[in-house]
Chains A and B, each alone.
Chain A
Amino acid sequence: MDFFEHQERARRQSARLIAFYAVAVALLIGAMCLLLAAAANIVESWEFFRHPARFAGADWSPRWWRPMLFAKVAAGTAALLGGAAAWKIHSLGSGGISVASSLGGRWVPPETALPEERRLLNVVEEIAIASGVPVPAVFVLEGQDGINAFAAGNTPSDAAIAVTAGTLRLLDREQLQGVIAHEFSHILNGDMRLSLRMIGLLYGFLMIANAGRALLGGGRRMRHPAFIALALGLAVLGWIGLVLGRLVKAALSRQREYLADAAAVQFTRSTGLARALAVIGGYLPGSRVNTWAAEEMSHLFFANALGWWAGGMFATHPPLHDRIRRIDPSFDGKFPRVSLPEVHPPPPDARPLVPPGVAPLASNLELRPEDVLARVGRPTAEHLGYGADLVALVDPQLREIVREPLGAIAVLYDLLLHDHDAVRARQLDALRAHANPTLLAEVERFLPQVHGLDPRARLPLADLALPALRRLSPRQYDQVLGQIRVLAETREPPAVFAYALQRMLRRRVEPAVVLRRPRATQFYSAKPLLRDVEVLLSSLAHVARVDTGLAFTAGRAALPPHARAIDLLSSERCTFEAVDRALERLAQAGGMLRRQFLEACARCALANNIVTVAEAELLRAVAEALECPLPPFLPAPAAPRSPEEAERA
């Protein structure tokens, strides 16, 4: 299964969950009707026995069929549940960062100097670059000794990863990598959105149970037997709903955990994850997390966040034994004792982990289009090594510099400056009109270092620089965007990289700065998007420079038959503006459609088995726009960019 199928499956499971939920709501409404009818009967009989005279000898018998009352109850309950769920989903939908901070997470600034946090950030960065997703915001849950972690967010671009303080102190680098890889699998498998929905739906039941409880504790005037019966009934019904909901949630969650474990092992190809789980088993606090929201969010975590009482059918995570056995059949079932003070200090963060047998950077990753596509959202151990190697291409000082906003901006501008002195002077002149002198000084300070880089290191360097930009104020972000545009426009000839960078900013930084919500799907068929695909494939073919026709045909062949009525456009019509318009529309296509478009693009770029840096950059822009995490793939031997080749668009 590839990334898209996993996402699709998550969506289907989400649909099944909603079906279950609808049944539960129907049952609940039925029970509520009965309850209210009973309450009404009690009221009437009370009246009858207290003031028999008023009923003038007429007999009283309970009446159970009350259509008007039932209609009101059904409408009220549905509105309450729906409103509560919609509200909760809406408020959590503001992204992983708000979920992480609401659980008491402390944000880890990218320039942190603490060795443990440094190591955590490095592990996260390596895995993010290897899997082609934006580096998520990282949080630490202070004061939590248990070993646990979670990932939250709607989409990969607003994800956040949090680990407990205990995790940082107890796990070694490889184990930590296993845990983080597990969390990334959740991000890539689309589990986060599923779990957000789950929280929302359960919240409705919680509200009903709480309403009942609140009514029970209500004022002294509320002592009418009907009222007490109603409150009691509400509390019980809400509670039953909550229990049923939890059963569904737990069953679903256990399944996703096995999947994430398997993906993490496949990804890191190390025993780190199994050993991390073993450490939890032998550690007294285990994986407990003590916050008020742990219960609500329990299925987001790496391991069981609740106490012993949440076991069996209600466990959101399979037992540790079973999880370890599945990924390491040789596990003997014994957990080594671990406790905090005995732990040796973690080794200093020295080498990037490169699993044995990984091809060095200079050799080729096999490049068949099917492979590229299979890799979307499914990074492999080679990628992890490759990601670490790419990161290693950037010298440590530069990596340090891009961890804080000003340095990151200056380095990005340097990446946009032309090698040619005359062009660069023109660009800098234009920039001078828009930027303040401190920024310009920094830009010039880092210029030699940045321009000495291997061209393949450009995208990874940009990847590393982007998280720092999330801390800009909206005004600063606007300024930076404007300045980048100035640099891109005054660069003659234009660079594909500048375009890819703007795309990356839009997807990876903007949501965090401006707090925008993801767009909904608009197109379910390829038909209205044909002109856009035409522009995109033509542009990619022209960027390839050689074998333009061949590349275009290869891309077209990958489209579904009814979408092949497109022709290669002339290079004059393939402007950045046209590509941008096309991508904006294509981004609103459904998941499987986007997959086909990306496949066509990959085939187009790989038609002649050579991927130039420019092609890779444009493909990256496409993947960013279509929200498909594309692991790095670049051909080697390093394709040196001859100026004119690199500048084609």
Chain B
Amino acid sequence: MTLSGWIVLGAVVLVVFLVISIYNRLVSLRNRFKNAYSQIEVQLKRRYDLIPNLVETAKGYLKHERETLDAVISARGGAAGALQRATQKPGDPEAMKALSAAEMQLGASLGRLLVTVEAYPDLKANQTMHQLMEELTSTENRVAFARQAFNDGVMEYNNAREQFPNTLIAGPFGFEPASPFEVTAPAEREAPKVAFA
């Protein structure tokens, strides 16, 4: 082989190694944010498990507030479904958007329930109710924390994906852009605070 032949060969090998290394980096970043998603999933599931208990406890006291309770239950069902779909494809823009929307709705209906509870001193004093609300707040906090980790991971992945020359590789190898999990409704954020003010 001539000298130029060797140079070309060297360049080809270099490019191949570069491609592999970028590919591996993208894979590890993607795995990282998927792992972070599983944290959110665990906490959200815990939250969805708590809600029926909460409603069950409140039912005895809130005989005239059926609508509020039903709204919570149906919102919980919707959110649980959205979570399941999002779990199959963490970071998928559509699934994440649906999950955000369902979560916001659940947060709003929970907020209404908790405002209602304020008007029933007996229920407020109930030991089980108190424990459940405590659990709910704590879970809420953990979700917020896990969400931050997930969103950081998604951002890092998206950044790596869009940089040059990574962007040349991301497309053909199926590294799709990921969406963060954002909950913007003030109702959701304030819900626990209303309860524990």
Contact = CB atoms under 8 A, between A and B. Distances in A.
Q: Does A pair with B?
A: yes
Interface in B135-185: 137-138, 141-142, 144-146, 148-149, 152-153, 156
Given A407-B142, A438-B145, A471-B39, 16 more contacts: A91-B20, A94-B28, A101-B31, A109-B38, A109-B42, A112-B42, A405-B146, A405-B149, A438-B141, A442-B138, A472-B149, A473-B36, A473-B152, A473-B153, A475-B152, A515-B28
A404 B36 contact: no
Contacts of B42: 109, 111-112, 404
B138 A91 contact: no
B87 interface: no
A101 B35 CA distance: 11
Given A83-B13, A98-B28, A445-B138, A72 B1 contact: yes
Contacts of B68: none
Nearest to A113: B42
A23 interface: no
A476 B149 contact: yes
Nearest to A512: B32
A406 interface: yes
A87 interface: yes
Contacts of A405: 39, 142, 145-146, 149
User: Which size class do A's interface residues fall under?
Assistant: 20 to 34
Contacts of B156: 473-474
Contacts of B43: 404
A230 to B, nearest CB: 14
B3 to A, nearest CB: 11
A107 interface: yes
Given A98-B28, A101-B31, A109-B39, A473 B142 contact: no
User: Which size class do B's interface residues fall under?
Assistant: 20 to 34
Contacts of B146: 404-406
Given A472-B149, A473-B148, A474-B152, A406 B36 contact: no
Contacts of A404: 39, 42-43, 142, 146
A422 interface: no
A635 B35 CA distance: 40
A471 B36 contact: yes
Interface of B: 1, 13, 17, 20-21, 24, 28, 31, 35-36, 38-39, 42-43, 137-138, 141-142, 144-146, 148-149, 152-153, 156
Contacts, number: 62
A362 interface: no
In terms of DSSP, what is the predominant structure of the interface of chain A?
helix
A100 to B, nearest CB: 11
A53 interface: no
A441 interface: yes
B47 to A, nearest CB: 13
Contacts of A472: 149
In terms of DSSP, what is the predominant structure of the interface of chain B?
helix
Contacts of A112: 42
A66 B152 CA distance: 59
11 contacts: A91-B21, A111-B42, A112-B42, A404-B146, A438-B145, A439-B141, A439-B145, A472-B149, A473-B152, A474-B156, A476-B145
Contacts of A473: 36, 148-149, 152-153, 156
Given A72-B1, A111-B42, A473-B156, A406 B35 contact: no
A87 B42 CA distance: 37
Nearest to B141: A438
A87 B17 contact: yes
A475 B13 CA distance: 35
Contact of B141 (A111, A442, A474, A475): A442
Contacts of B24: 91, 94
Nearest to B21: A91
Interface in A434-459: 438-439, 441-442, 445
B108 to A, nearest CB: 20
A552 to B, nearest CB: 45
Nearest to B149: A473
Nearest to A407: B142
A112 B46 CA distance: 11
B152 to A, nearest CB: 3
B148 A107 contact: no
Contacts of B38: 107, 109
The 9 closest A-B pairs by CB, nearest first: A473-B152, A406-B145, A438-B141, A473-B149, A406-B142, A475-B152, A473-B153, A111-B42, A109-B38
Nearest to A438: B141
Nearest to B143: A406
Nearest to B39: A471
Contacts of A471: 35-36, 39, 149
Contacts of A72: 1
A17 to B, nearest CB: 25
A523 B183 CA distance: 52
Contacts of B144: 438
Interface in A575-597: none
A200 to B, nearest CB: 15
A107 B35 contact: yes
A445 B31 CA distance: 33
From A87, A91, A472, A474, name the one whose CB has the most chain B CB atoms within 10 angstroms: A472
Contacts of A476: 145, 148-149, 152
A203 B107 CA distance: 54
A52 B149 CA distance: 75
A603 to B, nearest CB: 43
B84 to A, nearest CB: 17
A14 B102 CA distance: 56
Contacts of A474: 152, 156
Nearest to B193: A437
Contact of A441 (B31, B141, B148): B141
Contacts of A438: 141, 144-145
A87 B23 CA distance: 14
B141 A406 contact: yes
A438 B146 CA distance: 12
From A91, A111, A406, name the one whose CB has the most chain B CB atoms within 10 angstroms: A406
Contacts of A442: 138, 141
Contacts of A111: 42
B195 to A, nearest CB: 13
A7 B83 CA distance: 47
